[in-house]
Amino acid sequence: MGKYIKDIEQLYKGIAGLFGSLDQLPDVKRKVLKTELLLELSYSDPEGRVIVDATGDDIKIYLGECPEGIEPKVKLMMSADTAHLFWLGKINFIMATATGKIKTAGNVGGVIKLVPVLGPLFKSYTDFLRDNGMAELIV
C-alpha cells in the first residue's frame, strides 16, 4: 500500500477517467493514436496493471489482466504512487526513468515522444479526481 494510493481500484478509477477524457482533447488523442503504442503499465504497492492499446482507430484501456492475444511491446514498471504523481504533473518522466522510479522494457522511444503531448491530461486527471470524490488524492 502506498502513501497516496491505498488500493489499486483508486488508481484504476483515475486512469480510466483520465483516458476517458481524451474525447475532450482531440489533438492529444490523435497524437496518442499516431504512436500506435501497445503499452503495459505495471504497478506495485499496490499491484496492478493497465494496458494502453493505441494500435487501432480508438484507444483501448484494459485494467488488470492483459487480454489474450495482446502482447505489449513496451512495459513501464513503477509504484502506483509514482504513476499517480506523474499524472498530477509532479514527476518528470525522464528523471524518473534515470533515477529508477520508473523502469522500462522494450523500445520506449515512442513513449518518450509521447510524454510532452500528455501535459493537458494532468489537468484532466486532477479534475477527474476532484469531480469524483477523490480530491484527497490531489497533492
Q: Are 125 and 5 in contact (CB under 8 A)?
A: no
Q: Which of 75, 37, 73 is nearest to 55 (CA)?
A: 37
| C-alpha cell at position 28 | 492529444
**Tens digits of residue pLDDT in 12-70:** 998 888 888 888 899 999 999 998 999 999 999 999 999 999 999 999 999 998 899 99
Half-sphere exposure of 93 (CA within 13 A, CB side): 16
Domains annotated for the chain, with CATH where assigned, are: 8-131 (3.30.1050.10)
Burial 74-107 (b: 16+ CB within 10 A, else e): bbbbbbbbbbbbbbbeebebeebbeeebbeeebe
- pTM given for the model: 0.90
**Tens digits of residue pLDDT in 60-86:** 999 998 899 999 989 999 999 999 999
